[in-house]
Amino acid sequence: MKNTQLNNTRLDMNRLASMDAAQASRLLHRVRDETLAGRTPPIAPRPVIDASWQRMFRLGLDPDQGTSSVLLQRDELEQRRRTTVLGEVMRTLSTMLAGIADASMQIMVVTDEQGRVLWREGNLSVMRKANGICLEEGAAWTEHTTGTNAVGTALAMGRAVQVHSAEHYVHTLHNWTCAAAPVHDPRDQRLLGIVDVSGPATSFHPSTLALVGSVAQLAEAEMRDRHLRSIERLRSVAAPILCRVGGRAVAVDAHGWTAAVTGLAPVDRIALPKSFRAGRVWLPSLGMCAVEPLPGGWLLRVEDGQRAGASAPGAEAASRVVLDLSRPRRPSVAVSGAAGSWSQELSPRHAELLYVLALHRDGRTAAELAEDVFGDRTRTVTVRAEMSRIRRNLASVLAHRPYRFSEEVEVGFVGPDDPADLLPHSTAPAVRSARQARP
């Protein structure tokens, strides 16, 4: 009777919290043991955990291995701390989270985008115990190194994750519980790292995940405020300069966010190449530009005789587009042609949309894209808004009515070695279907 009840009940964190701790531990161990042995467990693991375990199977990770890793040298650790934007919000993270972690017999851990622990604070006795599993500054905590864990799985999935007791793939971590959330740079949505709360399994509480997620969002909001203030400073410098500039020009910060504009339709952001410098540079959204440095940004002057957009001479030079989804957390698109080359990282949603268009060279309507990405043909307003944002930077290679890559453009695609690793964060039906394919 008990097994029948389990089979008809969904395993979730609230249910685990309501159970006796020993009973919950036995259940999770049984689910893990049966699943890893290839048998049907009494109740299915949570989807996020099952997906991670499947990745561990494909990696051939040994569930009985340890969690030790080669620590970063002190000088490299300090270098990473100095260069990450996360350093600007550590005071907020410490104030909002470290004290709570200490009081609840846990520790706060902050990693970079590679899963390397940069900082940790909290309960001193728990930090000593954490040393025993190598959860210390400079250690690596990706799934590849330590199996299913909140830091590594949040990195792999691109969203907040809680992992408790025997949900950890590696046996060494079964006495631990952890909850982690990614922190993104609001200027370009680049993943900066992970904020995590970890402690003994006895400190488990389902609300910890919401707490960590809220603090991560607060850190992003602080970075957003800093960015807006920097844009205002750049605007105060650029405004008098633009008054003296003839023709069309725009002042942008280092990430392409617009501070001031003259002679052009205002846009929020202009995508810039990674290796950007003064001189003549072709940008898909503007054409050929003369680039000059400004304090805190750049002055872009569109050269005379060119029209920005799809009809610019630079657009005619665009002959090849490569969509690169080989890196799970950093999808990108590159445009190249006679005028040069240009690339940018993509948000998860834009990566999904461009992937679908790469599959369907004849094009997709807004309703078809809504079905492909959301599983709901009625979400055309959202699709049109996202495609409008994409075309601001890729107008030279994207057409519409229907949405498609231009016929004269060669489209290349670089995917992960295993189709199952394609955009692992995505729930888009088109992507999920592709993951099930096999070479």
Phi and psi angles of residue 225, each rounded to the nearest 5 degrees, phi first: -65, -40
Within 10 angstroms of residue 195's Cβ, the number of other Cβ atoms is 28
- Pick from 99, 105, 92, 107: which is nearest to 215 by CA? 92
DSSP character at residue 166: G
Q: Which residue type does 235 have? A: R
Full pLDDT tens readout for the chain, 439 residues? 334 344 445 677 777 777 777 888 889 999 999 998 889 888 889 999 999 999 998 889 999 999 999 999 999 999 999 999 999 999 999 999 999 999 999 999 999 999 999 999 999 999 999 999 999 999 999 999 999 999 999 999 889 999 999 999 999 999 999 999 999 999 888 899 999 999 999 999 999 999 999 999 999 999 999 999 999 999 999 988 898 887 899 999 988 999 999 998 888 888 887 778 888 888 877 888 899 988 889 999 998 754 444 333 334 445 788 999 988 778 888 887 655 567 778 888 999 999 999 999 889 999 999 999 999 999 899 899 888 888 777 766 888 889 998 887 889 999 888 888 888 878 889 998 888 765 4
In DSSP terms, 343 is beta-bridged to: 334
Two tokens, residue 332: 């990108």
HSE, side-chain direction, 13 A CA sphere, residue 346:
26
Q: Is 196 helix (H, G, I), strand (E, B) or coil?
A: strand
Phi and psi angles of residue 21, each rounded to the nearest 5 degrees, phi first: -55, -40
**In angstroms, rounded to a whole number, what is the distance separating the alpha carbons of residues 53 and 90?**
32
Q: Which residue type does 50 have? A: D
Q: Is the Cα dihedral 265, 270, 273, 276 positive or negative?
A: positive
- Pick from 188, 36, 193, 200: which is nearest to 125 by CA? 200
Specify whether the CB–CB gap between 43 and 11 falls below 8 A: yes
pTM, entire model: 0.72
**In angstroms, rounded to a whole number, what is the distance separating the alpha carbons of residues 327 and 315?**
27
Phi and psi angles of residue 424, each rounded to the nearest 5 degrees, phi first: -60, -20
Measured at the CA of 210, the angle between CA 208 and CA 215, to 5 degrees, comes to 95
